[in-house]
Amino acid sequence: MRSSSSPWLRHAAVGLSVTAITAFAGASPASASVHRTTEPASLREVTATGQPDGKAPKTPPAQMSTVGGELLGRPGPQTGAGAPALPKDLSALSWIVSDADTGDVLGASNAHWALPPASTLKMLFADTVLPAVPSGTSHKVTPADLEGMGSGSSAVGIVPGQQYKVSDLWRGVFLRSGNDAVHVLAAMNGGVEKTVADMQKRAAELGAKDTHVLSPDGYDAPGQVSSAYDLSLFLRAGLKNKDFTEYCATAEAKFPGGPNTKGKPFAIANTNRMLSGIGGVEKYPGLIGGKNGYTTNAGNTLAEAARRDGRTLLVTVMNPQSQKHDEVYSEMRRLLDWGFSAVGRATPVGSLNPIAPRSAGATAPPGAAGTTHAAAAESSGAPVWVGLGAAVVLAGGAVVFAVNRRKGGTDDTAAG
């Protein structure tokens, strides 16, 4: 890990100080259970649980969604015929490996387990708001723009009364996982309530049926969940947007300074350590980027895209149970390596694409939970994958939930 005396850490800590003071101003000991890490301020996240006992369930539901294929609804690891052996000691509650171009799911475990997403939910925020807020505009931040941020939120260091370019705000979202930047952009989109409703509608459009949005930034809220499958849908959709791809691939940038920096821009580094290489995590060759997250309730969450030999893979990892340092990045690395060895060889176990309805009388593929061959699914009438252009038929509109949020934490070595 780099020393806290490095220039970008000093500047980032200064930038965070204004928002950190604001965020903690209204919090009382009774309203939030605060957890501190031992990392430098610019790398740590102060979090508070959004659940009464502070713990997510550790056993997957007996029945999960089968969107994308029957095998994706089964508990435990699922791989197809021809797939290499899975990496050993994978401890994540949920993970999925897929081909971004074809939509083929190469392997998965509990892909539809609805779990707290932390800041990886910011990918859906970007999918929703990037097209709605013109990139060439700027905005003068008001105190009202930052209202409603949870205590301990990760922040890039936005100062009320200061003018910011929309492009700078998005760098604050993607690099520093700044909930302050999210709230300013949400204000530009018509407010938090509208943005939450827009995000839920966008999730439905993408076929992300495991996702329930209560906050635009991923801050813990009881009932706010997503899944490894849905988060991969959000990343895949985002990569079709030039701005999304540019922001999530940016390792370092300058952010406009405020009074504490005498107006001078300060350096910010991406808290996605596999991209930026901070904290002693080795950069991954061919990594495009993605989004990381951490809260007390969600644990570590991470979605990444990488390209090798003309293939682009998506991997999402949710809540590794191993206590090893940076385990989420270790498991991500091993699953990306596995995916590149499996693509073109392994029979898919599902798809990120819309699927055709099951024909009458078709039965689910046999077999118990565990490693399962997709060939069995084909022979027993499992759904047939259709092309990228297939239409999704969606019923109903997004429901807007009035939220009385408990104090919850945000992101990783940034927040969310």
Active site (catalytic) residues: 119, 122, 177
Angle made by CA atoms 149, 150, 154, in degrees to the nearest 5? 85
Q: Cα(first)–Cα(last) distance of the chain, in Å?
A: 22
The position carrying tokens 């200061």 is 162
Query: What does the alpha-carbon distance between residue 137 and residue 167 come to, in Å, rounded to a whole number?
Result: 8
Amino acid in position 124: L
User: How many angstroms separate the CA atoms of 183 and 185, rounded?
Assistant: 5
The dihedral built from the CA positions of residue 306, 311, 317 and 322, taken in this order, carries a sign that is: negative
* Contacts of 396 by beta carbon, 8 Å cutoff, 6+ apart: none
Minimal CA–CA distance to 234: which of 208, 263, 255, 201?
Answer: 208
Q: How far is CA 282 from CA 205, 285, 333, 334, in A?
A: 36, 9, 10, 13
Quote the tokens at residue 374.
Answer: 């997709």
- In 3-state terms, what secondary structure has residue 254? strand
Residue with tokens 């490894």: 228
Residue 109 main-chain phi, psi, to 5 deg:
-145, 115
Nearest alpha-carbon partner for 23 in 297, 408, 293, 301: 408
Strand residue runs (E) in 296-370:
299-308, 311-320, 350-351
Q: At what angle do helices 166-174 and 179-188 cross, to 10 degrees?
A: 140
C-alpha 213/C-alpha 236 separation (Å) is 19
